[in-house]
Amino acid sequence: MVTMSDLNQAMTSCLSIEGALGAALVDQDSGMALATAGSPESLDLEVAAAGNSSVVRAKLRTIAELGLDDEIEDILITLGRQYHIIRPISGQDGQGLFLYLVLDKSRANLALARFRLTKIEKEFRL
């Protein structure tokens, strides 16, 4: 059973990534943010969570329509001043959830951020 402490720890770990502005644990079916941390300027994490749920669902549909025997590792969205990384939870208990991380492009090391987010996702247990 996951506790608020577990969710808070995961969000704290996400925010410890260099350049992190905000993070969320999101239910991809409902678009609801189960936990958030940080406060990116001019970005509502709740609204972003819902919108990115649509991105994940669309990509999953495309993978299925193409008949690919594969899964999403992560999705990277590059904006002018930010990186947005979507990382689905891979464990059975976390199916249908993803971590969403917003990074300041000028301060973040993208390769290191992806590596750290992967590690957080693998350690995250529901």
Q: With bands split at pLDDT 50, 70 and 90, how would you rate the model's confidence at 1?
A: very low
**Dihedral sign, Cα of residue 55, residue 91, residue 68, residue 84:** positive
pLDDT given for residue 93 in this prediction: 61
Closest CA to 102 of 88, 81, 116: 81
Question: What is the pLDDT averaged over residues 75-104?
Answer: 90
Domain count, the chain: 1
Q: Write out the residue range of the structural domain in which residue 101 sits.
A: 4-123
48/71 Cα distance (integer angstroms):
22
CATH classification at residue 87: 3.30.450.30
